[in-house]
Copies of this chain bind each other. A is one copy, B any other.
Amino acid sequence: MKLHEYQAKELLASYGVPVPAGKIARTPEEAKAIANEYASLTVIKAQVHVGGRGKAGGVKLAKDANDAFEKAQAILGMDIKGLTVKKVLVAKAVDIAKEYYCGLIHDRNVQSFTLMVSKEGGVDIEEVAATNPAAITRFAIDPIKGLRAFEARQIALDAGLEGNLNKIAAMMVGLWNACAGSDATLAEINPLVITTTGEVIAADAKIDIDDNAMYRHPELEAYREVEAEHPLEVEAKAFGFSYVKLDGHIGVIGNGAGLVMTSLDVVSRVGGKAANFLDIGGGAKAEIVYNAVKLVCKDPDVKGILINIFGGITRADEVAKGVIRALEEGILNKPLAMRVAGTAVAEANELLKDKPINIYPTMMEAATAVVKEAAQ
Residues of B within 8 Å of A144, CB to CB, are: 144-145
Q: B-facing mask of A126-156, CB < 8 A → 1, else 0?
A: 0000000000000000001100000000000
Q: How many copies of this chain does the complex contain? A: 2
Taking the nearest CB of chain B, how far is it from the CB of A217, in angstroms?
A: 13
Taking the nearest CB of chain B, how far is it from the CB of A106, in angstroms?
A: 21
Residues of B within 8 Å of A145, CB to CB, are: 144
Q: Is the interface of A mostly helix, strand, loop or mixed?
A: loop
Whose C-beta in chain B lies nearest to the C-beta of A146?
B144
Taking CB atoms and an 8 Å cut-off, the chain A residues in 204-246 that contact chain B are none
Taking CB atoms and an 8 Å cut-off, the chain A residues in 43-78 that contact chain B are none
Taking CB atoms and an 8 Å cut-off, the chain A residues in 256-309 that contact chain B are none
Tell me, in angstroms, the Cα distance from A144 to B143 when the chains sit together.
11
Taking the nearest CB of chain B, how far is it from the CB of A164, in angstroms?
A: 20
Taking the nearest CB of chain B, how far is it from the CB of A216, in angstroms?
A: 10
Whose C-beta in chain B lies nearest to the C-beta of A142?
B144
Tell me, in angstroms, the Cα distance from A145 to B146 when the chains sit together.
11
Taking the nearest CB of chain B, how far is it from the CB of A147, in angstroms?
A: 14
Taking the nearest CB of chain B, how far is it from the CB of A333, in angstroms?
A: 49
Q: B-facing mask of A87-98, CB < 8 A → 1, else 0?
A: 000000000000
Taking the nearest CB of chain B, how far is it from the CB of A270, in angstroms?
A: 50
Tell me, in angstroms, the Cα distance from A145 to B144 when the chains sit together.
7
Taking CB atoms and an 8 Å cut-off, the chain A residues in 137-181 that contact chain B are 144-145
Tell me, in angstroms, the Cα distance from A144 to B145 when the chains sit together.
7
Tell me, in angstroms, the Cα distance from A145 to B142 when the chains sit together.
12
Whose C-beta in chain B lies nearest to the C-beta of A145?
B144
Tell me, in angstroms, the Cα distance from A145 to B145 when the chains sit together.
8
Taking the nearest CB of chain B, how far is it from the CB of A32, in angstroms?
A: 35
Tell me, in angstroms, the Cα distance from A312 to B169 when the chains sit together.
38
Tell me, in angstroms, the Cα distance from A85 to B144 when the chains sit together.
44
Tell me, in angstroms, the Cα distance from A158 to B375 when the chains sit together.
69
Taking the nearest CB of chain B, how far is it from the CB of A104, in angstroms?
A: 20
Tell me, in angstroms, the Cα distance from A308 to B168 when the chains sit together.
47
2 contacts between A and B (CB under 8 A): A144-B144, A144-B145
The 2 lowest CB-CB distance pairs between A and B, nearest first, are A144-B145, A144-B144
